Structures are given as C-alpha cells and as structure tokens.
C-alpha cells in the first residue's frame, strides 16, 4: 500500500477490536510498507529518550510496540529492560523475534496486566496517538505508571496534537524537547515530556 492508503485505512478502524485485527492482518507486510517513510522515526525517538535517561538498566515501556522497531532502536543504544505492549498479537509475534524485549504484553492501556507493571522510568510511543488509536484518555493512564521525573517520548501528527492538550497542559508534565518530522503532509511532532512531580 502507498503511505496515504495505509494511513487512511488503519486510522479508519472503528474500535480497538477492529484496530487490533487490522494490525494483525497487516503484520506480515507492515515493515515493508512503512520502512522507507517511517525508518527514521523509531531511531530518532529512541535517541530523544536516551538524551534524558542515562541509566540503561532503567525500565522502559514501548507503548504500541508493533513489530519492535522502537525496541531495536532502544537496544542499539544500550537499553536492556524494555517492556513492549501492543493490542495486536500478530505484531507482537514479530516483535518477539527481534530478541530485544524483556517481556511483551498483548492488550490495551487500561488492562489489568499493565496496572500490575512496576512503575517505569521511561515511556516511548511512536504512531500511537492518532485518530481511532489512542488519545487523551490513554495519555492520562500513562501518568499512573510512570515514575516521578520519568520521561515520556511520543509522536503525534500536528492536526491531532490539540486532542492531547487537556492532559499535556497539566502541571504534572513539563515539556523538555520538541522536533518536527515532515514525513506526511500533516507533519509529525516528536515530543519529550518529564513527569515533573509525584502523581496522585
């Protein structure tokens, strides 16, 4: 599929169940379809996270891990404790083959198994905050599992960013970094935030 076709198709999923099934259907061809356009995104996001987290033994959550492209980028930078989470078992099967994750969780952000996860020092999410994927509700849930002073790095297309302002404008989050990646007609923002105080 061409970029505009797969972007429109995957963002037209009506609910999480359909989204997961669509990613399962796409999993075998996903990397071939997105590689040329998306190749720099996992690497650039991982570099931003590593800029603010020195301890490579820190627990990192790759939220929306997909086929593991971000996990590979993090491992290349020396991170060893990476938990991958995705709603698509098909995508996670491919991610597991990469051999870079300490554990993998199949489910959504509100699932019990994520609430049982130890608080993480960093969260990275590429291609997750988008139409019919994740929004402000999911971003709020991430606040519950990140440590005080923890780092959140994520991508969001410019047009969708206002959907997250309600959460991002809270005093718990401090903007550390911002980078524009014009890989679509609707540019991607790569953002880095710090959880600036203990969250209730």
Kindly report, residue by residue over 28-77, the tens digit of the pLDDT. 777 777 777 778 999 999 999 999 999 999 999 999 999 999 999 999 99
pLDDT at residue 10, rounded to an integer: 61
Least confident among 10-24, 41-55, 108-122: 10-24
Q: How many residues does the chain have?
A: 200
> Which of 27 and 6 is assigned the larger pLDDT?
27
| Domains with residue ranges and CATH for the chain | 3-195 (3.40.50.150)
Residue 166 binned pLDDT confidence (cut-offs 50, 70, 90): very high
Nearest to 50, CA basis, from 156, 182, 176, 168: 176
Kindly report, residue by residue over 134-144, the tens digit of the pLDDT. 889 889 888 88
Residue 79 binned pLDDT confidence (cut-offs 50, 70, 90): very high
Across the chain, mean pLDDT equals 86
pLDDT at residue 45, rounded to an integer: 97
pLDDT at residue 199, rounded to an integer: 44
Residue 200 binned pLDDT confidence (cut-offs 50, 70, 90): very low
pLDDT at residue 162, rounded to an integer: 94
Share of the chain above pLDDT 90, in %: 56
Most confident option among 20-29, 101-110, 172-181: 172-181
pLDDT at residue 183, rounded to an integer: 77
Q: Which residues make Cβ contacts (< 8 Å) with residue 193, sequence separation at least 6?
A: 151, 152, 153, 168, 173, 174, 175, 176
What is d(CA 67, CA 90) in angstroms, rounded to the nearest whole number?
8
pLDDT at residue 181, rounded to an integer: 87
pTM comes to: 0.89
Q: Between helices 16-38 and 3-10, what is the axis angle to 10°? A: 160
In what helix (H) or strand (E) does residue 8 lie, and over which residues does it extend?
A: helix 3-10
What is d(CA 41, CA 167) in angstroms, rounded to the nearest whole number?
23
Residue 109 binned pLDDT confidence (cut-offs 50, 70, 90): confident
């Amino acid at each position: 599929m061409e970029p505009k076709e797969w972007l429109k198709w995957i963002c037209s999923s009506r609910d999480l169940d359909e989204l997961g099934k669509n990613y399962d259907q796409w999993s075998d061809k996903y990397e071939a379809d997105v590689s040329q356009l998306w190749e720099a995104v996992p690497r650039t996001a991982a570099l931003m996270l590593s800029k603010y987290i020195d301890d490579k033994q820190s627990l990192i959550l790759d939220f929306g891990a997909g086929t593991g492209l971000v996990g590979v980028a993090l491992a290349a930078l020396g991170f060893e404790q990476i938990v991958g989470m995705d709603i698509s078992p098909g995508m996670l099967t491919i991610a597991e083959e990469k051999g870079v994750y300490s554990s993998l969780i199949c489910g959504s952000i509100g699932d019990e198994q994520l609430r049982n996860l130890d608080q993480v020092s960093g969260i990275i999410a590429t291609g997750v905050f988008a139409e019919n994927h994740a929004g402000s509700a999911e971003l709020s849930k991430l606040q519950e599992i990140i440590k005080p002073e923890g780092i959140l790095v994520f991508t969001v297309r410019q047009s969708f960013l206002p959907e997250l302002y309600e959460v991002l404008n809270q005093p718990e989050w401090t903007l550390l970094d911002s980078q524009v990646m014009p890989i679509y007609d609707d540019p991607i923002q790569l953002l880095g935030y710090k959880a600036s105080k203990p969250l209730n």
